[in-house]
Amino acid sequence: MPQYVYLIISIVLIAFFVVLFFVTFVKNRKTPVPKGCEGIQISEENCSACNNTLCSIKGKFDIEKVKEEIEKDSNEIEEDK
């Protein structure tokens, strides 16, 4: 087979996988919350038992902690002046 055929096949496959990724991503976002899980509240206590270091929810709690510490430190500095 000529080389341009391999090039076309590879481009088609890459395009297919990109489209497949976006379609599954959008469908996942549009999936409704399962019955019985609507009122679940995410709390830091529940997340502390989880070992997933790549969790975006856990990262959100960490960012909020850092913001609180920065505000606390800046308030202490202002009080010292």
Q: What's the pLDDT score for residue 62?
A: 66
| pTM score | 0.48
What is the C-alpha to C-alpha distance for residues 58 and 43, in angstroms, rounded to an integer?
A: 9
Distance CA 64, CA 36 (A): 28
Rounded to whole angstroms, how far apart are CA atoms 49 and 42? 12
Counting every residue, how long is the chain? 81
Residue 40 has pLDDT above 80, yes or no: no
Q: Using pLDDT thresholds of 50, 70 and 90, give the confidence band for residue 9.
A: very high
Q: What is the mean pLDDT of residues 2-10?
A: 95
Q: Do 47 and 57 contact (CB within 8 A), yes or no?
A: yes
Contacts 24+ apart (CB under 8 A), 5-11: none
